[in-house]
Structure 1
Amino acid sequence: MYTSTKLPRTSALFLSALLGGVIFTSCASSERSINRQIAADGAANPASAPASESSISQKAEAAPITRSRPQLIKKAAISLTVNSVDQTIDAVSQIINKQQGDLIGLKQQQPKNDNPRYTATIQLRIPENLLESTLEQLAKLGTVESRNITAEDVGDRLVDFQARLTNLQKTEANLQKIMDRAGSIRDVLSVSQELSNVRETIEQIDAQLKNLKNQVAYSTITLNLEAAVSSTSPQPAFGLQVQETWKKSTHSLSAFSIGLLKLGIWLIVYSPYLLIFVALIYGFSRWRRTHSPRLTQTPESTTSE
């Protein structure tokens, strides 16, 4: 009984001791290496220690601050009015191949009654350094109606993801060392579960980091095309026109016949109510004629008779 209650506490103490030992050993070794380096530098040239500190401070003040290149996700949109949408799409495909880009979306809309113009929308992905030159080549394909570029700086997010990834990788290495030293099966399973969680988080952050870097490396262009002249469909043949007219007339006749049939069914269903209504009107009219006052005959009418 005493041994069974002591095992979990011993396992926890063992894991805590291993983690503390790894951290303490790494900190102590780094501190000893720094102290040895400082002592060696001071022994080699003791008089130059203060001078070296002042020279370092002077260099730090004199050196210009270098700013890292901003990490931007750029998106562009351009609308063109062209003479032929199909020919423009072919020209856009050639530009994409030349600029080492990708066609990621194409939507064409044929002329309709409400919108008689032929339109198309194309989604492009171009290397970031070729964005401006690609827009200039696309602008030459027609008349530019609108053009805009938006940019989002994701440098802070990239730095944050990279720092989290580095820390998690160090934690993974420490957990791997602890699992190698663990003796009991309970300790091995506990460390293995923690190691699995850390590795899953590492994979998620690494995927997000790669996605951001890919969006920074490649810019997106949305190209809207619209035909300059409304497209008109060719006149159908005479036989097709007659066939279409026959279909419309027969359809109209059948619809009219079905309407009459429905009306007859409604009248049959409501005929009792219609008969009652007609009988009430007829009875009211007879009662009115019966009880209406008779006109008195005038003397002139009596004499004439």
Structure 2
Amino acid sequence: MKPLWITLVLAILTGCTAVQPEVAQESTAPVTQAEALSATQVAKTVDTAKIQPQLAKTAQISLEVDNMDKSAQQAVGWTRQAGGEVLNLTDNGMKGEVRRLSLEVQVPAPQLDAVLAQFSTLGKLESREVTAEDVSNQLVDVGARLRNLRKSEELLLKIMERSGSVGDVLKVTQELSQVREQIEQWEAQRVNLLNRVRFSRIRLNLTSPLAATPGRSIPERLGETWQQATSTLGNITLGLVQLALWLLVFSPYLLVVGLVGWLVRRRWRASRP
């Protein structure tokens, strides 16, 4: 016959595999990026997600601007005024005759349309795209898993209080540690989903064509040609001097090779009839 605590642990683990979402009617409590909600707030948020869609929005807008630095500075200022923050800025520099800059920002979801409207005034609009992902089902699933894991944690604590032997306590402690680790993982995933709903991300792509350079005058062209000619002459002269130095350094070897060749040729002529 199995001990009581083993039977209870098996029942707990079996119950965790079949998670059924539960729905209640409460209001959603927003979270910040740095804090986690309590167990009561988890139930409220997840249950409300079942009733009302929870949309994670992202946007992408591409513009052609005249002044790259000024436009990027204005975009950063508008983002912070709306309560958002800059996540990433990539300046690709000049590619051919075009300079490219990519700016990724995060703003509160209610401010998404207003910020996009401000960005559109920076220059000529090339493309604009807004997408939304409904994460309601994910929130419901995560919330249900968290509730079941917390129930398992409570049962394991009760089993630990009843266990008398050291071996049983160690086994229950190990199971409890695994359950708490899963709670932390699912809690982090829940906070991430809620932040995606509360904050929208915008990728701003800026391009700035370079202004055409004016043609050079004839004196400037002649001066450049003179510089190129003198530079080429100096390089050729330097190359000849270097070649003469190499020949001077290896002259003893060249003399030996020449002497051997002269002796071979002389012997060959003497051997002829």
- Normalised by the length of structure 2, the TM-score is 0.63
Instruction: Tell me: CA distance 1:78–1:182, structure 2 relative to 1, closer, same or farther (3 Å).
Output: same
- State the AA in 2 paired with 1:101: G
1:221-248 CA distance string (max 9 Å, x none)? 1111122553759x9xx9xx99xx68x9
Alignment partners' CA distance in 2, 1:21 and 1:105: 48
> What residue in structure 1 maps to residue 133 of structure 2?
152
- State the AA in 2 paired with 1:163: A
1:59-91 CA distance string (max 9 Å, x none)? xxxxxxx97221222111111111211111121
Alignment partners' CA distance in 2, 1:110 and 1:18: 64
> What residue in structure 2 maps to residue 13 of structure 1?
3
What SS is found at the alignment partner of 2:98?
Answer: coil
Alignment partners' CA distance in 1, 2:207 and 2:63: 6
> What residue in structure 2 maps to residue 71 of structure 1?
54
Q: Identify which of 122, 131, 150 aligns with 1:141.
A: 122
In the alignment, structure 2 segments of 5+ residues that lack a partner are 13-48, 251-273
In the alignment, structure 1 segments of 5+ residues that lack a partner are 1-8, 23-65, 269-305
User: Is this contact kept in 2: 1:118–1:230, CA < 8 A?
Assistant: no
- State the AA in 1 paired with 2:64: T
User: Is this contact kept in 2: 1:74–1:149, CA < 8 A?
Assistant: yes
Instruction: Figure out how many residues of one structure are paired with residues of the other and give that number.
Output: 215
User: Is this contact kept in 2: 1:106–1:123, CA < 8 A?
Assistant: yes
User: Is this contact kept in 1: 2:50–2:140, CA < 8 A?
Assistant: no
Quote the offset at 1:14 in angstroms. 3.5
Alignment partners' CA distance in 1, 2:141 and 2:239: 75
- State the AA in 1 paired with 2:189: Q
> What residue in structure 1 maps to residue 98 of structure 2?
117
User: Is this contact kept in 2: 1:118–1:231, CA < 8 A?
Assistant: no
- State the AA in 2 paired with 1:211: N
Instruction: Tell me: CA distance 1:72–1:252, structure 2 relative to 1, closer, same or farther (3 Å).
Output: farther
- Normalised by the length of structure 1, the TM-score is 0.57
What SS is found at the alignment partner of 1:110?
Answer: strand
Alignment partners' CA distance in 2, 1:251 and 1:158: 76
Select the structure that is richer in helix: 1
Alignment partners' CA distance in 1, 2:233 and 2:183: 67
Quote the offset at 1:121 in angstroms. 1.0
Instruction: Tell me: CA distance 1:251–1:91, structure 2 relative to 1, closer, same or farther (3 Å).
Output: farther
Matches within 5 A, 1:269-280: none
1:102 paired with 2:85, answer yes
Larger-Rg structure:
1
What SS is found at the alignment partner of 2:101?
Answer: strand
Quote the offset at 1:109 in angstroms. 3.3
| CA RMSD in angstroms, aligned pairs only | 4.4
